[in-house]
A and B are shown apart, each in its own frame.
Chain A
Amino acid sequence: MARIVSLLTMLACWQAGAGIAGPRLLPAPMAVGAAMLAEARSGALFANLGATLARVIAAFVIAMAIGSALGLWMGRSRLADRLADPWLVVLLNLPALVIIVLAYIWGGLTETAAIAAVALNKLPSATVTLREGARALDPKLDDLAHVFSFSRATWLRHVAAPQLAPYFAAAARAGLSLVWKIVLVVELIGRPNGVGFEIGSAFQLFDVTRILAYSLAFVAVMLAIEIFLVQPFEQHAARWRPSSSRRQN
């Protein structure tokens, strides 16, 4: 309920702002909605959303998979931590734009270069988060695994994964919003389609309506992923917790 009120207030502010700024700088919500509908009718909206979403998913999956493995390894092994930490610090502090430009220069204006650049941007923060989780693994449960000779797979699935789930969810949530923002930049610079490309061409025409139509459509898609994928995952991972300690929405 509180969320709906907040959302409606946001819309009202937008409408009021549009009245003051004029339709060229800030088109009213209805105008943006109409533009969105027109793009949807022509099919362009879904083609571009689909292209962007595919890049987001590819980069996200790659970054989370490598980041989780690397983070787990670094959190468990001092040597691995010492070896990989400088790389991580460099990568963490490299501006996204530098990684993107270099990826395009070295890899050409290709899909691979685009996805690699986005994944590389997300990788270090996912690694750091999962490393934190790996460091917090309960040594008592590792003792248990040792005494009962759990296999590596059993340890990973039944001992480590449940403890890492909150860290994984945090990395996924932060990662998703980061990845899709960077995907837009990557598309703006070197892709012939996608939401980022559309926003780029709308920018050249100063077409604020189209910019808002595309970005809001994509925000809606990401919101849906958060609500229908990330939150159910968190709930599933927390199902063993006694309900009194579970966070109430």
Chain B
Amino acid sequence: MPRVGVPAALDVRIDGKFFQSAAGKRIPVLSDFALRIETGEVAALVGPSGCGKTTLLRLIAGLDPDYKGNIVKPARGRLGMVFQEPRLLPWRSVFENLRIAAPGAAHDDLDALLTAFQLGDCRDRYPGEISGGMARRLALARAFAVEPDLLLLDEPFVSLDAKLAASLREELALMVERRPVTTLLVTHDMDEAITLADRLILLSGRPCGVIADIGISERRGARPPELIAAIRVEAARRLANV
């Protein structure tokens, strides 16, 4: 059953995030970085490798308290996250991995979720016995199983074959359509960002900053190829201007 939740806005302001290099030097990763995502909005973050996208998601998820700034998350919101690698509990079965993350969910709902992500056949297998693509699907299913109010996705479709990635993108679009959730999607794939997101946020290299913030007004799923092409051109132009 679609549940109309009360997802809320995400407000991120990071004055400074540093990492200590092995030589003891302080390396700035994020500085004077600000980002606001409205309730139920899907924002795609696109930026060069190593610019600090994963770091940003970790800060938002509350995994790294060592930064200067302020992050306001949806009040009492459940967090769903897909890490850059699947990160499953290898000693628990596929189904148990879902159940442990979402202890409150009905088993039927979890089974339905497994079916939606084409994992019904390996419900009782261990993560070591399923393929990498299946593990990625399970990580996605787990993020949805908790009925999140804030969804953080770190390159969830990378290294999947094109057909599978496309079907998973569709599944993701369907899920956020059914139950709006404030979503931050990190990706390297411009087309993926343009098809899935309401907003396209282009990032520069270190220290990470926002180059462009392009809103897409047309409804997700109803975007004609010409529009997608036009946005792609626009994004390329903005990237070239830096």
* Chain A residues at the B interface, C-beta cutoff of 8 Å: 140-141, 143-144, 146-150, 154, 158-159, 162, 240-242
Contact = CB atoms under 8 A, between A and B. Distances in A.
Given A144-B83, A150-B100, A240 B63 contact: no
Contacts of A158: 89, 91-92, 96, 100
Contacts of B103: 154
25 contacts: A140-B87, A141-B87, A143-B63, A143-B83, A144-B83, A144-B89, A146-B62, A147-B62, A148-B81, A148-B101, A148-B142, A149-B78, A150-B100, A150-B101, A154-B100, A158-B89, A158-B91, A158-B92, A159-B89, A162-B89, A162-B91, A240-B92, A240-B126, A241-B128, A242-B129
B59 interface: no
A147 B79 contact: yes
A241 B129 CA distance: 9
A148 to B, nearest CB: 4
A166 to B, nearest CB: 11
A162 B92 CA distance: 9
B30 interface: no
Interface of B: 58, 61-63, 78-79, 81, 83, 87, 89-92, 96, 100-103, 126, 128-129, 142, 146
A144 B100 CA distance: 11
A144 B103 CA distance: 15
Contact of A141 (B58, B89, B96, B129): B89
Given A162-B92, A240-B91, 19 more contacts: A140-B83, A141-B89, A143-B58, A143-B83, A146-B62, A147-B61, A147-B79, A147-B81, A148-B81, A148-B101, A148-B146, A149-B78, A150-B101, A154-B100, A158-B91, A159-B89, A162-B91, A240-B90, A240-B92
Contacts of B58: 143
Contacts of A159: 89
B63 A146 contact: yes
A148 B91 CA distance: 17
A234 to B, nearest CB: 13
Contacts of B90: 240
B136 to A, nearest CB: 15
Nearest to A146: B63
B128 A242 contact: yes
Contacts of A144: 83, 87, 89
Contacts of A150: 100-101
A155 to B, nearest CB: 10
Nearest to A147: B81
Contacts of B146: 148
Contacts of B101: 148, 150
B186 to A, nearest CB: 15
A148 B92 CA distance: 16
A149 B73 CA distance: 15
B72 to A, nearest CB: 18
Contacts of B92: 158, 162, 240
Contacts of B142: 148
Contacts of B61: 143, 146-147
A133 B201 CA distance: 42
A146 B102 CA distance: 13
B126 A147 contact: no
B60 to A, nearest CB: 10
A159 B78 CA distance: 20
Contacts of A148: 79, 81, 101-102, 142, 146
A92 to B, nearest CB: 31
B157 to A, nearest CB: 19
A240 B96 CA distance: 12
Q: Which 9 interchain pairs have the tightest Cβ spacing? A: A162-B91, A240-B91, A240-B126, A148-B101, A242-B128, A147-B81, A143-B63, A158-B100, A147-B61
A69 B96 CA distance: 26
A205 B96 CA distance: 62
Nearest to A158: B100
Nearest to B129: A242
A162 B97 CA distance: 14
A148 B87 CA distance: 12
